[in-house]
Amino acid sequence: MEDSENKAKERGEIFSRAIRAGKRTYFFDVKTTVEEEAYLTITESKRRFNDQGKFFYEKHKLFLYKEDFDKFVNGLSDSIEFIRTGKAPERPAPGSFTDSSDEADGKDLRIVSHSIEFEDLASEADHTA
């Protein structure tokens, strides 16, 4: 086994896949907890430049646990289908915020649609930091 594979195993990494998509790279890493429960991390990495012109990698990470896979996949599929067709799903996915079982302070939660670009999120993070 290679040295890098040994280090990955020590960190609980058991599978990894990198996908290049334009200026971004997405990493799908399957890891295990101390209790040997598998989970997925999805990392978006983008090369950026600081004020001095030196590059660094900006990373955003999402942790997805086994019990949430179905809801996540359903939500992702519905969102992709909406982008492709322009039509919203006919009924909400189970466990979504429009599901009547999800309530906060006695009020039903509703899905709100916003047009947000990744660049908008970065500039908003700069203002809140």
What digits encode the pLDDT tens for the residues 41-50?
999 999 899 9
- How is domain 3-95 classified at the CATH fold level? Nuclear Transport Factor 2; Chain: A, (3.10.450)
Q: For the whole model, what pTM was predicted?
A: 0.60
- How far is Cα 93 from Cα 110, in angstroms, rounded to an integer? 13
Structural domain boundaries in the chain: 3-95
Sign of CA dihedral 45, 49, 51, 54: positive
The answer to whether the CB of 97 falls within 8 A of the CB of 111 is yes
> So what's the pLDDT on residue 91?
67
Q: What is the pLDDT of residue 62?
A: 95
Dist CA 124 CA 120 (whole Å): 6
Question: Cβ-count burial of 28 within 10 angstroms (0-12 exposed, 13-18 middle, 19+ buried)?
Answer: middle
